[in-house]
Structure 1
Amino acid sequence: MTKQSGFTLIELVVVIVILGILSAVALPKFINLQDDAQQAAMNGLKSAIESASSLTFAQAKVNGVGNSFDETLPSGIRIRYGYPFATQTNLKLLLELDEDDWTLSGSNPSITFTQTSSTENMTASEILASDVCKLVYTRAVQGERPVLSISGCTD
């Protein structure tokens, strides 16, 4: 008789248990990647808006209209107290947004930014009422910067 070689049932069960423990530890880290990506996208958009607002304010000061209530810069950007006015058209022009990626809703005094993929079949009022990941740009008031707030993104 020849001796057969292979794995015993106990060895196979031990390997399956080890794989189960590893997957139970690693799986939650991979499941939350979409939420992390949405949060990162919103943080990136917030930074882009803050930078563009600062540059617009500097341009307004150079042109001598930094304290004006409602003015349009030579670049075509409409400003309020030196910062970008809160209209969808104005913010799209300011940021050169890709409408395939971002949805803007609302009107002055605040504009809401959401990722198009997460709000495809939602109306503007549904977006505002829902807890979807969004960034809200609220117009500047005299002597202050615009307010940018992110909400609905899990952390």
Structure 2
Amino acid sequence: MNRIDFSPYRRTMVGFDRLFDMIENQGRASAGDKYPPFNIERRGQDAYRITLAVAGFKPGDIDITAQANLLIVKGSKPDDTPEGEYLHVGIAQRGFERRFELADYVRVDGADLADGLLVIDLVREVPEAMKPKKIAVGGNKLTVVENGPDENTAAA
């Protein structure tokens, strides 16, 4: 089992405990079940899409829960007794639960199920108060320029 040692970083980086804990926990969680398969796609500067292959599931069989920094997708199949006798079962008939850690200010924009693929669109909306602002220095009063930083502004 590969384990990454974050102790050198923990000594010098203040306030990143949650990030290090998420990385360590993700390594443990991803070693388990790989069902259902999924893709994560970046669709723009602040837009993402998660696509899960959920063949055989209906919209009523899927529950999507978004809470602070966590997206949980659960699928549960009703217990249907087949009318015939299966000689081979290769299509998964089991329920699932997938958890996705979300960054701050990421919210679910919508979800759709078509052709056996569950598509969940996510968008990051940073509040105006958290966006970078260019501060103009001059006189006794502080002037805030709302355009944000440019290439001449040094990053803090």
Q: Same fold (TM over 0.5)?
A: no
Higher helix share: 1
Return the index of the structure with the highest Cα Rg: 1
TM-score by length of 2: 0.23
